[in-house]
Structure 1
């Protein structure tokens, strides 16, 4: 069985609710960025703008807080998936190139997504905030139900206890330098539930090292599921719009290469059998 793209249903993104890829598929050639006039295919990865022919034709995503991405200066702009978030959610996403880091006046309202030694899960952070709000310590037997385990009497969405989320966009070794910056190292850290990456660029890490846009997406979905009684209905799926399109293009290219290679092998084998 196949989806609308013609790929097998084993496609890991088959269940995502994504906008049509038709605008991307119909786009021919490259065009100039309206801001810097550089030649681009779908969007400008330095100005974070879609090309003119895609304005109003690609999805726009709303995020419930400000999201900052601190990018290592050696990260190639054209290869950074963090740019996808800035293009698709321009109102809430800001990209900064290290050592440029915004000033966070109230660190208690900021959360850094980074697997530090003191990092907590989203569940632990929400529970901690709930206990602090009610004035109960973690050992109290009279504690109210944690934020992520609401009762049926409370159908409303739990208030998210932070205003800004920070992601680091770099290789693992580069990220340590950014994390140790005095402007970030004392911020509370959160670690994501383990997910498998489907990033098509080769890396010398295990497959649970996510591309930045994957980490952003999984963070938002996990947070939604922990703070809302409503069933997740794909509100953030379009953050993966460019990522999924490119993933599928790479998979098609791989399949085509394998087909061509097999045909060449078969032709060679037939020719050798005829000669002998």
Structure 2
């Protein structure tokens, strides 16, 4: 393949061998078969010494390939699989069936403990003026991080440690999921790169980033002594530069368990690639669970009173009955052995669920929009099965009925509908 960079064009984003037209979003690729640019057009391009005339055409498949190379997605891969280039990864869908996903998602949302019911948020239909920038916003101003509908906003949420989100300057603030969460908790701080929270020390700061040196939270010694955690809010390619920044790379790298994302924006990877607010939520949930698990272990071991010295007969009897399973120690693996760590209801009680308040409302809204009629179509860049068919979302955002008995019947019917 021959690449010619013409004076009338500037080098742009994309892969090697591709240049972006300064006046058009199309690409120019010079190959042995000709030049690809636009759709079935002819142009004449001139350099200082030669004139080249090329028949230029590009197929839908080629355009899709170019789009996939510059696809934008947000967040984190819990198991560190993001070390591979997105160009080498194939988009895949869900392993569960539509009905199985419907049950899991409904159950997950119903078990969230929101301080304000979602129907209160749905009651807000009008946009209000932001008191700082005077732009009209629906729920909050993503530029100023101010609330315009305080009557439907959750109360300030205290987090178990300080959360710092390093936001890439090229990220669209209106589509950043972490900004909405920052309006809910004063302990969640947004820092726009190249600024970073330089006051943080490696001794008490973690960074959630799936690098080769990252470890799971249960592998971190004295986890409760860490007071800060850093997240990177950007595309995967942008996050690499931020993670290499010596001001960030000095922190201990950690990762979280694999979870399935509810993110509604299209992405080029599988559903375990989380939105930033999901990564924050699942990290904090794991953190709380792990810290409380260790605390329970210590309390359990301390509650066992020291027995009187055993007799010789007791020693022989105990030796004959001893087995590894007879230990009274509480094992985190035993605790986490249910469906997925959320599973540890004894050690997590919805402390940070409010962080997902706006996110879940948006997710339900997207699902409702694309299941309300056949006329609504969504981008085929989503992996297969994102929209859950043949299910109702109304019960999750409906206001309670005035009749208590009727409300109880509705709840029972809803439970039966999803299994």
TM-score by length of 2: 0.50
1:113 maps to which of 204, 208, 219:
208
Supply the distance in 2 between the matched residues of 1:96 and 1:255 (Cα, whole angstroms).
Answer: 37
Supply the distance in 2 between the matched residues of 1:238 and 1:194 (Cα, whole angstroms).
Answer: 21
Cα separation, partners in 2 of 1:26 and 1:105, compared to 1, 3 Å: closer
Supply the distance in 2 between the matched residues of 1:118 and 1:9 (Cα, whole angstroms).
Answer: 36
Counterpart of 1:200 in structure 2 is 264
Within-5 A mapping of 1:77-88:
77-88=173-184
Within-5 A mapping of 1:28-107:
28-51=125-148, 53-55=149-151, 57-89=153-185, 91-107=186-202
Q: SS of 1:213's equivalent?
A: helix
TM-score by length of 1: 0.75
For the aligned residue pairs, the C-alpha RMSD in angstroms reads 1.9
Within-5 A mapping of 1:237-256:
237-256=353-372
CA contact (8 A) 2:120 2:152 kept: no
TM-superposed CA distance for 1:259, in Å, is: 7.1
* Bigger RCO (CA 8 Å, 6+ sep): 1
Counterpart of 2:6 in structure 1 is none
TM-superposed CA distance for 1:106, in Å, is: 2.2
1:114-159 superposed Cα distances (whole Å, 9 cap, x missing partner): 011101110111xx33xxxxxxxxxxxxxxxxxxxxxxxxxxxxx7
Q: SS of 1:189's equivalent?
A: strand
- Residue 212 (structure 1) aligned with residue 309 (structure 2): no
Q: SS of 1:103's equivalent?
A: coil
Counterpart of 1:235 in structure 2 is 351
Supply the distance in 1 between the matched residues of 2:153 and 2:164 (Cα, whole angstroms).
Answer: 25
Q: SS of 1:95's equivalent?
A: strand
Supply the distance in 2 between the matched residues of 1:110 and 1:220 (Cα, whole angstroms).
Answer: 14
* Structure 1 unaligned blocks of 5 or more: 1-7, 130-158, 262-276
* Structure 2 unaligned blocks of 5 or more: 1-101, 297-345, 378-419
1:11-66 superposed Cα distances (whole Å, 9 cap, x missing partner): 24222122312332111221111122111110011111211x32574343210111
1:196-222 superposed Cα distances (whole Å, 9 cap, x missing partner): 111011001111110011001101111
- Residue 20 (structure 1) aligned with residue 136 (structure 2): no
CA contact (8 A) 2:169 2:193 kept: yes
> What is the aligned length?
221
